[in-house]
């Protein structure tokens, strides 16, 4: 798994449970994280997967994901992690989203605070072949953050049709509706089916 994010690696282990796959993260292998210079989620996922596959000589799965807030013109989008500041503190990013929404006088309603979690998975093989899939989860931003589960922006995102934030959902319930879960179902159908 081409990630240094422990939360993502744990979610991916859960999603691949039941398949004959051992998940080892780039951090576990001591691989450097490439600079994410792409302008789309697809660009960055592919870049990370290909770098890890080349460095490890193994198939590498990369995830590039982020939160796109409609009232913020799709921001933070591909730079979601950057909104967390240099310490990569998700609360910093969640607080920035709230400040930006308030600065634009966006009402605290589900319709006005529509957002989408996006996940793109790229599975790169040592021979250079790469499969890319995309999953999305619509919902909206809530404030203050709620729940202790999940990771990243989960406490401030409430999926469409759910009374709970992603951080309040049980992991299996979240994976059933999440952007990452949707992308994994597509990947599994394409590569493991």
DSSP 82-97: GGGTTTT-HHHHHHHH
Kindly report, residue by residue over 42-54, the tens digit of the pLDDT.
999 999 999 999 9
pTM to 2 decimals?
0.90
CA atoms lying within 13 Å on the CB side of residue 60: 27
Cα 178 to chain center, whole Å? Answer: 9
The residue count for the chain? 193
For 107-157, the pLDDT digits (tens) are: 999 999 999 999 999 999 999 899 999 999 999 999 999 999 988 999 999
- Is it the case that residue 26 has pLDDT exceeding 90? no
The band of 160, judged by pLDDT with boundaries at 50, 70 and 90, is: very high
Residue 64: active-site member: yes
Domain spans in the chain, listed from the N-terminal domain onward? 6-191
Catalytic annotation, pick one of 64, 82, 108, 131: 64
The correct CATH number of 6-191 out of 3.40.50.920, 3.40.50.2300, 3.40.50.970, 3.90.950.10 is: 3.90.950.10
Closest CA to 33 of 57, 62, 58, 11: 62
- Quickly tell me which residue has 């994010």 as its tokens: 5
Mean pLDDT of the chain: 93
């Amino acid at each position: 798994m081409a990630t240094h994010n422990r939360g993502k690696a744990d979610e991916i282990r859960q999603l691949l449970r039941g398949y004959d796959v051992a998940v080892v993260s780039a951090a576990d292998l001591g691989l450097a994280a490439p600079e994410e210079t792409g302008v789309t989620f697809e660009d960055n996922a592919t870049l990370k997967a290909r770098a890890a596959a080349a460095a490890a000589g193994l198939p590498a799965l990369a995830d590039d994901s982020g939160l796109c807030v409609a009232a913020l013109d799709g921001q933070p989008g591909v730079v979601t992690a950057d909104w967390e500041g240099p310490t990569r503190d998700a609360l910093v990013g969640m607080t920035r989203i709230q400040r930006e929404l308030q600065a634009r006088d966006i009402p605290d309603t589900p319709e006005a605070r529509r957002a989408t979690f996006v996940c793109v998975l790229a599975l790169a093989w040592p021979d250079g072949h790469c499969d890319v899939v995309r999953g999305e989860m619509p919902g909206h931003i809530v404030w203050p953050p709620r729940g202790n589960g999940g990771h990243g922006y989960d406490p401030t995102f409430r999926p469409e049709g759910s009374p709970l934030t992603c951080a309040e959902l049980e992991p299996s319930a979240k994976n059933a509706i999440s952007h990452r879960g949707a992308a994994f179902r597509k990947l599994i159908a394409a590569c493991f089916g």
